[in-house]
Amino acid sequence: MKTIKIQCPAKINLNLKITGKLENGFHAIESVMQTISLYDYLTINVENNDKNEIILSGNSTEIPYNETNLVYKAAKLYLETAEIKNKKINIYIEKNIPVAAGMAGGSTDGAGVLYGLNKIFSYFDTKKLNQMCAKLGSDLNVCLHGGRIMAQGRGEIITQLKFEEFNVSLIKPINLGISAKEAYTKFSQKKSSISSGEEKNFLIRNEFRNSREDYINDLEWAVIDDYPHLQYIKQKYPKSVMTGSGSTYFMIDGEFEQEKGYWVKNNLKAVNFGVREV
């Protein structure tokens, strides 16, 4: 029996621009992402069994503990790719990164599983791990390596950038999560609406800022008009920026006030690593 514990950092998007559409239907992006000192933890236990079996458990009531979880998919992909047989994989997920928050909580856990199982079995090099990350999702490659990274394509093409230290704070409406699918769909709809000659009327009938150029994150521009909680954050903290598809906002070298209805995490730091053993 072997047991390993993996620390899985959240990420923020320092910027996010949508540059077009890829042949596979995904939006093409350019985004500088940064891992930060907010972590999920995975405890991975491997033992012999009469068949391959993956069992998930954890401390969160907001995620599934079955084959739909990216952690399960990552473990299954690793076993199949390595042609490993007759193993029981128990994975306990300590969830601290909010769900559907734009901080890659699922992706970092998926990358953590691939990394952790490879620490145990030592089957693959970094290139192969990157290929498996890209197969599973858009942000796993960023979470695997960590630090400051330029992500392109749908997010799986990464270039390591020079690391810069900074403090960061987070705020998120407690009962609001936004999926990537919703955010990208709203971006397409809003962009199409404006491109069809409705921009003037669109701007007139909306009191909040609506010019795409006003936003560092294109997905913030896409969703903010539909959510008063996001508008409230932006109005109260004009220097804050939404990360990913939301609904979390971050602020560099500043703090958010603790208030009812919002999850707040101040005094976090940029970190120069991705998933790792602890």
* Known catalytic residue at 139: yes
Q: How far apart are CA 136 and CA 163, in angstroms?
A: 26
Confidence of residue 194 (pLDDT cuts 50, 70, 90): confident
- 225 is annotated as an active-site residue: no
240 has a pLDDT exceeding 60? yes
In the predicted structure, residue 25 carries a pLDDT above the cut 90:
no
- Number of neighbours of residue 188 by Cβ within 10 angstroms: 14
Q: What is the pLDDT of residues 99-154, one digit of tens each?
A: 999 999 999 999 999 999 999 999 999 999 999 999 999 999 999 999 999 999 99
Q: Specify the DSSP class assigned to residue 104.
A: -
Confidence tier at 197 by pLDDT (50, 70, 90):
low
> pTM of the prediction?
0.93
Confidence of residue 204 (pLDDT cuts 50, 70, 90): very low
Domains by residue range for the chain, with CATH: 2-165+273-277 (3.30.230.10), 169-268 (3.30.70)
Query: What's the rounded Cα separation, in Å, for the pair 143 and 164?
Result: 17
**Catalytic pick from 40, 73, 109, 139?**
139
